[in-house]
Structure 1
Amino acid sequence: MQTCLLQRCETVDAIDVAKIEAEACGRPIRTRKVDIMVPLILQIAGILAVLLRLYARWTMMPRLEADDWIMIVCGVIFTVLVVIGQIAGAMAFGEDIWMVEPDKLTLGLKLFFVDEPLYLATITLTKISVLIFYLRIFPNKSFRRATYATITYIITSMTVILFLQIFQCTPINFNWDGWKRDFGTYRCLDLHRLVNIAGGLSISHDLIILVLPLPLLWGLTTSKRSKIGISFMFSLGVFILITACIRLHYIAAFTHSLNPTWAFTDPLTWSGIDASVSVIVVCLPAIRILFKCGWSKLLSQNGTARGGLAQRRVLSAVRRKAQDPESADSKENTINARDEEVAEGVFATDVASVLSMEEKYDFIFSSQSTRMETHDSEPELELEDVVPREIHGSVGYPGGGSAKETS
């Protein structure tokens, strides 16, 4: 009956009648407020992930890189997104529309309208941060051109979607006042088509970012086990892809609902999960090395025989090379990876985990470029190849040629 009233009567009157009818007939009051609170766990974890990433980078390198600054901006926007989203959810969503007070419904829809561009900005910045990270660790010219093209594609498409989202209805205040159905003259885009296009573009971004580095990663002349581990770290983006697909499913269903405050519970929930997972996954590599170094320090303090012996062997090998720098071959091809390859476990994590903070600054995070040989015929990356400010390895990229020097 409530649905019939919403279809055939003025909205405000229909809501009042539906509420009276529900109370008179003793209908159970439905609520999904708890469901809206579920993403809060991941949202808090996302905020903590950004803070841990910044702490790890601040304590283990002399300066923050471009992708770190992007994540600082992203973290601020994400925090505002979480606060506004939780207020809007508690105020106007998770229950039937006839149970929501009109003033609260209007304010909740207004907050939701503000939250939408914050969501788009959050997921866009996480993607750009990952691509900037790619540019810092992979010197291959073909790969870099593909990465720049992907950045351009993401920025352009998300800017268009943001513009369409803001002006999906004119006047703009129809987005929060239009539910009353007495607004007057207005014009709106096809919301169903818009959300499908936006969701499809976002999924295409995730797929490209996920697949882009795989040829380079499998071209590394390291053991198969190392390749699998490295690929796993880069493939965590599959979780972002999954949540984006689930969110798109619920968003599409919402656009046809006559009871949006109830129907939008799932889209609101999965939007929060999607943004949170994106932020967490992007921060995981830095968090991983932070905990890895902490664990190595704990082993050293406890005097664990196995851990201590392994650390002494690594440090001894490093210092032997430092005392005899001429033993290392000169390298023509460079890769600017003083933090990621070593400090984030992409190529030589164990070296970073056993050095003191001063040695890390001198050895890993020097202002000079870290070096990497890029010929497929070279042997596997070995511990003895690691020297201060130089890491020797090999990257192969089908059809892309050898890597060149980057700064």
Structure 2
Amino acid sequence: MTTINDTTAILPPPDGYVVDFDNPTIQYVTESYAVVAVEMTLCFLFLVQRLYTKIAIMKSFQLEDGVVILAWVFCMGTQVCGLLGLVHGAIGRHAWEISVEKYVFYSKVILASPLLYAIGTCAAKMSLALFYRRLNPNKVFQGFVWFTLFVCPAAYISIFFSLLFACKPIAASWDPLLLALPTTVCLNRGGIYLSQALIGIITDVLLLMLPIPTVLKLQMPNKQKLGLVAIFAVGSITIVTSIVRLIILIPSLTTPDQTWVIGEGFLWIFVEANLLIMCCCLSTLRRFFKHFAPRLIGESSSGNTSKTHSRGFSRNNAHRTFGSAGAKRTLDTLMHTNNDDGIPLSSIDEMYKHGANVTTNARPMCRDSDSEEAILFERSVQVTYENRDDSTVAGGGAAGGYEGRQGNQPRIWTGKRAPGAQ
């Protein structure tokens, strides 16, 4: 420690440097304020979009939605710590232009921020993994998802407690006076910070690669398929920010002027913390725009997707299917929703041409057309041919059969048609 102009600083200034505590040299302070103002707003809007889509439109609040809220709270807490450090003049300034009191405040910020960020990062990545868990029932895919769900909390919990108890006594983590005592023992916190950055990069790569093979198997137009891949590719931005943060972190571990170099590090933390939440909210964007602005994404609204045919029956567009090792599931989007209103029963029109009386009975639905149950429901169809010879009646299909008497007596076909059957 050294005394400069009646103020005790943690480091002496370089030779020839004129210290000015009232107007110190700063870096990345204005940029940090600008990034926080823009990205915090965007992050909040993305979160509101996700919650509105899941609660109001899809009427399905799931576990990953609660985990996203938890991630947002802790990521915001990390940024608040950084902002407090900037406001109090403890970050982005040279250590010899900071009083000991401000350096103690800086040390507390440096301790609290990684602790909060570890929880927020872990929650955000677990939310993505929980969402991926519903994408594909393939056992290999599910194995990777559960591996990610295990690795993320295990790694970040280890980092959390390693940072919290890095020094004995704990107060030595933020009090430079205790560090000078011979009884104080501290771990290499720089190594812990490096481990945190490396774990972040590895888990980011894993979460980016997991859904790509599944998305490529979707039976949908290539344009929409590429759009989904692009949405997942946006998650690669967090990999870039993690790598940049790691590059900045390495020299900061060896320089004594940490309050100066950490300014750039916090700038990238502001960027990454908001991007993590926005990436978690990308999965509901297509469903959100399909509800409010379908033409913006090249789709028609649900009211225009089906054309009315004779006798009130509708013919819908073919359902998209999600390929997997087992039975295929009928899906419209990655969020397991289907906004179609009817079932394509094209053969009904042909039956009317032969003078048949057709009666349909749909199984009552307890949920709206956006639920999975609405995708899988069956419709019973009863067709009666009156005063027809046997030769004029087509044979029964695999889904049902004909029963009745010989001659001109009525013959009845009963059966069930699954969605998409012709």
Quick check: TM above 0.5?
Answer: yes
Structure-1 residue corresponding to 2:369: 363
**Cα distance in 2, alignment partners of residues 165 and 364 from structure 1:** 45
Residue 53 of structure 2 aligns with which residue?
A: 56
- State whether residues 46 and 277 of structure 1, in contact with CA within 8 Å, keep that contact through their aligned partners in structure 2: yes
- Residue 177 of structure 1 aligns with which residue? 175
CA contact (8 A) 2:234 2:279 kept: yes
Aligned residues of 2:49 and 2:285 also touching (Cα < 8 A)? yes
Counterpart Cα distance in 2 of 1:367 and 1:16: 67
1:132-188 CA distance string (max 9 Å, x none): 111122222221122111211122112112221212222221111127753442222
Displacement of 1:390 in angstroms is 6.3
Equivalences for residues 7-406 of structure 1 within 5 A: 15=10, 18=13, 22-23=17-18, 29-32=24-27, 33-40=29-36, 41-91=38-88, 92-178=90-176, 182-296=180-294, 313-316=304-307, 333=327, 335=329, 340-341=334-335, 362-365=368-371
Deviation at 1:27, TM superposition (A): 12
CA RMSD of aligned residues (A): 4.2
Structure 2 distance, partners of 1:158, 1:321, is 58
Q: What is the CA–CA distance in structure 1 between the aligned matches of 2:335 and 2:286, rounded to whole Å?
A: 13
Change (3 A) 1:184 1:287: farther
Return 98-107 or 259-268, whichever deviates more.
98-107
CA distance in 2 between counterparts of 1:322 and 1:118 reads 56
- 1:67 touches 1:130 (CA, 8 Å); kept in 2? yes
Indicate if the aligned counterparts of 2:152 and 2:203 stay in contact, CA closer than 8 A: yes
Find the residue that maps to 2:174 and give its secondary structure: helix
Deviation at 1:334, TM superposition (A): 6.2
> Per-residue CA shift, 1:251-297, capped at 9, x if unaligned?
11211111111111111111221111111111123244324422249
Q: Which moved more, 1:169-178 or 1:283-292?
A: 283-292
2:412 counterpart residue number = none
CA positional deviation for 1:26: 12
Aligned residues: 348
Is contact 2:95-2:260 (8 Å) kept? yes
Q: Give the aligned partner of residue 355 of structure 1.
A: none
Give the fraction of aligned pairs with identical amino acids, expressed as a percent: 19
Q: CA deviation at 1:243?
A: 0.6
- How much does 1:65 deviate? 1.0
Q: Is the 8 A contact 1:366 1:389 kept in 2?
A: no
Contact 1:88–1:109 (CA<8 Å) still a contact in 2? no
Displacement of 1:197 in angstroms is 2.0
Conserved in 2, the CA contact under 8 Å of 1:370 and 1:391? no
Alignment check: 8 A CA contact 1:50 1:279 kept: yes
The structure-2 alpha-carbon separation of the partners of 1:63 and 1:102, relative to structure 1 and needing over 3 Å to count, comes to same
Structure with the higher helix share, 1 or 2: 1
Q: Which moves more between the two structures, 37-46 or 56-65?
A: 37-46
Give the drift of 1:31: 0.9
Q: Distance in 1 between matches of 2:139 and 2:311?
A: 34
Q: Equivalents in 1 of 2:33, 2:335: separation in Å?
A: 38
Kindly provide the CA deviation profile for residues 334-374 of structure 1, in whole angstroms up to 9, marking residues without a partner as x. Answer: 6596874455xxxx7x859xxxxxx9961112556769xxx
In structure 2, what residue type is equivalent to 1:51? V
Write out aligned runs for 1:1-12 (5 A): none
User: 1:333 is matched by which residue type in structure 2?
Assistant: A
Gaps of 5+ in 2: 342-364, 378-416
Give me the whole-angstrom Cα distance separating, in 2, the residues matched to 1:198 and 1:319: 64
Residue segments in structure 1 that go unaligned for 5+ positions in a row? 300-305, 353-358, 372-387, 393-407
Question: 17-26 vs 256-265, which deviates more?
Answer: 17-26
- Do the aligned residues in 2 keep the contact of 1:93 with 1:262 (CA within 8 Å)? yes
After superposition, what is the alpha-carbon deviation per residue over 1:230-258, rounded to whole angstroms, capped at 9, x for unaligned? 21122221111111111111111211111
Q: CA deviation at 1:196?
A: 2.1
